Chain A
Amino acid sequence: MTDLLTQLPPDPIYDRRKQIQERAAKTIGRRTLISRAYISMLMGCFIIALIPLGSVIYALINKGIAAISWTFLTALPSQPNLMQQDAIGGIGNAILGTIIIDLLAGLVAVPIGVLLGLYLAEATSRVADFLRAITEIMTGIPSILLGVFAYEYVVVPTKQFSGLAGIVALGVLMVPVIAKASEISFRGVPSTLREAGLALGARDSKIAKSITLPVAAPGVITGVLLSLARAMGETAPILLVVGASGAWNFNPLKPISALPLLTYNYSGSQYPSQRAAAWGVALALVTMILILSLTARIVSARMRREKR
């Protein structure tokens, strides 16, 4: 038996395997080194990218926290003068204005955006291709243009700066963002689920409502909340069209105050107290955006988990 084994011709595979293993062992040191070098390089890039971002956040918190107080968050603003240079008041009405503008813009933009996304995901016609291209372009449109648009078509005809003009500008800004995010979520719904619905005799509208929409919901909701967060921080169109108000204003047809607007106005002020307050306004705004983004993450994570 052993004689027979030793007499067998050498298997070329064994020879090749030996060569490969020897080569791999010999170069392992060098390959590990290269790998480590790459990882350090990536870490370096990460840190460099973090420096500017970190400094902004540091300055924001460091300078902003000093301005923040209960009165600051809830009171109406007051105009400092030479006698009372520190009388800056609060930003309560600006927080309210930002919430009103964002909420109403969302109320209009969300249904339109989600339905447009559903259409873009499902339809294959030329019209759909055209709309898809338009949506794509619209997501990159400079926001100041939407401000000019709202000025021309809302502010000028109504002869009034107003929250409504801001709502129009931000609404138009949000629709393509929501549509794009929804389209991607809807496309992620496995076609086999749709086929299962069809095979049970469901109409397209039923399938959209009972299968596609619920399955895509976590992604759609994330997209909606992130677009709300983005709109909240938009400054250019707001600056141009909402006017300004020093009072509590719940009426979107009148001029209204908003946080980005206040940040802009305060930071250019001649009074040091107002320039300092600008950081507080910015911190309040960033905190609101952060809350929205975190909510988006938590909601979608929870919904995804529930499906398991």
Chain B
Amino acid sequence: MEVVTTKTEVTTNMPTTKNEIAMQLKDVSVAFSGRTAVRDVTFDVEEKKVTSLIGPSGSGKTTLLRSLNRLHDLTKGAVVEGQILLGDTDIYNDKLPTTLLRSRIGMVFQRPNPFPTMSIYDNVVSGLRFNGIKKKALLDEAVESSLIAAALWDSVKGRLKNGGTTLSGGEQQRLCIARALAVEPEILLMDEPTSSLDPISTKAIEDLMGELKNRVTIVIVTHNMQQAARVSDNCAFLLMGDDRAGELIEFAETKKIFNNPSDPRTLDYIQGRFG
């Protein structure tokens, strides 16, 4: 157990390390225009671990993930109920500005989406610039550090001024990971980050996640059960209920979910009987 006692200065970005819980979901429900998409999900996201969300299409994995950084705020008629705690902060009810919240929770999307008008360098530092950081030395440092962390530094260090979209698909996705890491978020949300990539790029990103969790807590949505088994420490299994709303069936260590699940429906899904 790691308890921060040596640091005297107050760092708001330091999560509550006492119980090593980075984020808590308490009875989280998401509804769009009155239709419930996800209902009453409760689990803890452990710090510096990888938590995977699995389940068949329509079970609300992505919907749930996007509620964790308030991305549903844009959608008209979207309502998120329950509590999501980042450390001690209730992200929906406390007076934390959404932009500040999102700078603490990074996100990687299904398809690589580097900013097409920006160079590799500018892509990586875009989050820092959005948040008002302009010091060249700090930006340079962030570029090197996050590209190294995303296992992309060696192949792009000589062409940082090239466009971000000149890279291959797998490299673009790693660029997007670097872009998210540059802001040094506490949590990194990944929404099926390898679903549009070839097997080699997929493997590169899976390998990366093992390294990354020393630096950031990861929550990943994946369609690929093998991927969840390979990369995650904890696993949440969601399933569409009778009224088409996604529900949490089981949350446990990934080992337990895949070897000895408590719920027969989890076993059915793991064994490929539906979904």
Contact = CB atoms under 8 A, between A and B. Distances in A.
A210 B126 contact: yes
B76 A196 contact: no
Contacts, number: 83
Interface string B86-102: 00000000000001111
A16 B163 CA distance: 52
B130 A202 contact: yes
B179 interface: yes
A172 B115 CA distance: 34
Interface string A106-134: 00000000000000000010000000000
A198 B117 contact: no
A196 B130 contact: no
B99 A215 contact: no
Interface stretch (A36-44, A187-195, A234-242, A249-257): A187-195
B109 A203 contact: no
Nearest to A307: B116
A196 B115 contact: yes
Contacts of A195: 71, 74, 107, 109, 113
Interface in B187-239: 189
B130 A210 contact: yes
B165 interface: yes
A206 interface: yes
A199 B107 contact: yes
B187 to A, nearest CB: 11
Interface string B153-179: 000000000010110000000001001
Nearest to A207: B130
B54 to A, nearest CB: 22
B163 A200 contact: no
Given A124-B76, A196-B109, A203 B115 contact: no
A10 interface: no
Given A192-B111, A195-B109, A307-B165, A200 B130 contact: yes
Interface residues on A, range: 20 to 34
Contacts of B104: 201
B19 interface: no
A190 B109 CA distance: 13
B260 interface: no
Interface in A219-268: none
Contacts of A198: 71, 74, 102
B180 interface: yes
Interface of B: 69, 71, 74, 76, 99-107, 109, 111, 113, 115-118, 126-127, 129-131, 163, 165-166, 176, 179-180, 183, 189
Given A195-B113, A196-B113, 14 more contacts: A196-B115, A196-B179, A197-B115, A197-B126, A199-B107, A200-B106, A200-B126, A200-B131, A201-B100, A202-B126, A206-B130, A214-B115, A214-B117, A215-B116
